[in-house]
A and B are shown apart, each in its own frame.
Chain A
Amino acid sequence: EPEVTQTPSHQVTQMGQEVILRCVPISNHLYFYWYRQILGQKVEFLVSFYNNEISEKSEIFDDQFSVERPDGSNFTLKIRSTKLEDSAMYFCASTRGWGNEQFFGPGTRLTVL
């Protein structure tokens, strides 16, 4: 069964560094999302992406963050100048159509030291 994949599974970085989290959505899906979950807290929406542009973003998704679909298969989240509070599990998700079921990847655990 097709699934969303994410790499790396765990990323450790120093405060102030830039990280890129990678996702490969399900191949025939058209809508892509990033969410994050700080330890012990709710899963929070960051951004959605469709037709090569951001379709919606949360107040969390400020200038520190950016997303890109560099080719036909990958979807990336870049976090510039990481802060301690960016430490969280980051999930990528995709859907075939706008209102369809969202399928999530296994997540990347980001630890900022």
Chain B
Amino acid sequence: KQEVTQIPAALSVPEGENLVLNCSFTDSAIYNLQWFRQDPGKGLTSLLLIQSSQREQTSGRLNASLDKSSGRSTLYIAASQPGDSATYLCAVREDGGGSNYKLTFGKGTLLTVNP
């Protein structure tokens, strides 16, 4: 059974700092991995999708990397801002030959960026 773990559970940084959020998964047979942002009491906003054949994806100040064989992904946030404060979730979709549809989520990293 796929398990997704995110470390650290919480992170507090001063504004302007670069930071890295970590995600690990137990079964490396994944189709893709998606990073989300969740604000308190709100829905999930998709940030980046990395296919299993890719090593990284970039969107603005965000860069996500994927090392499928070791079961790891990182989300790098450059020049953090107070508006980046949120919970960041990692989710994987297993490669079941076209029969797997679900995302399996980690518990998230609660990021606080202090002005």
- Per the 8 Å Cβ criterion, residues 78-104 of A in contact with B are 91, 93, 98-104
Contact B103 A102 (CB under 8 A): yes
Taking the closest CB of chain A, its distance from the CB of B96, in whole angstroms, is 9
Interface size of A by CB at 8 A reads: 26
Contact B102 A105 (CB under 8 A): no
Contact A98 B34 (CB under 8 A): no
Contact B36 A98 (CB under 8 A): no
User: A43: which B residues are within 8 A, CB to CB?
Assistant: 44, 89, 91, 103, 105
CA distance A65 to B43 in the complex (A): 22
CA distance A55 to B34 in the complex (A): 21
Interface size of B by CB at 8 A reads: 26
A 32-63 binary contact with B (CB < 8 Å = 1; else 0): 01010000011111001010000110100000
| Overall SS of chain B's interface | strand
Contact B107 A56 (CB under 8 A): no
Contact A99 B31 (CB under 8 A): yes
User: B36: which A residues are within 8 A, CB to CB?
Assistant: 104
Contact A101 B34 (CB under 8 A): yes
Contact B101 A48 (CB under 8 A): yes
Instruction: Given the known inter-chain contacts A99-B93, A106-B43, please indicate yes or no for A45 contacting B99, CB distance below 8 A.
Output: no
Contact of B12 with A by CB under 8 A: no
Taking the closest CB of chain B, its distance from the CB of A59, in whole angstroms, is 11
Contact of A25 with B by CB under 8 A: no
Contact of B71 with A by CB under 8 A: no
Contact of B26 with A by CB under 8 A: no
CA distance A109 to B98 in the complex (A): 31
Could you tell me which A residues sit within 8 Å of B by CB distance? 31, 33, 35, 41-45, 48, 50, 55-56, 58, 91, 93, 98-107, 109
Could you name 15 residue pairs across A and B whose Cβ atoms are closer than 8 Å? A33-B101, A35-B103, A43-B44, A43-B91, A43-B103, A43-B105, A44-B105, A50-B101, A56-B101, A58-B102, A99-B93, A102-B46, A103-B46, A104-B43, A105-B43
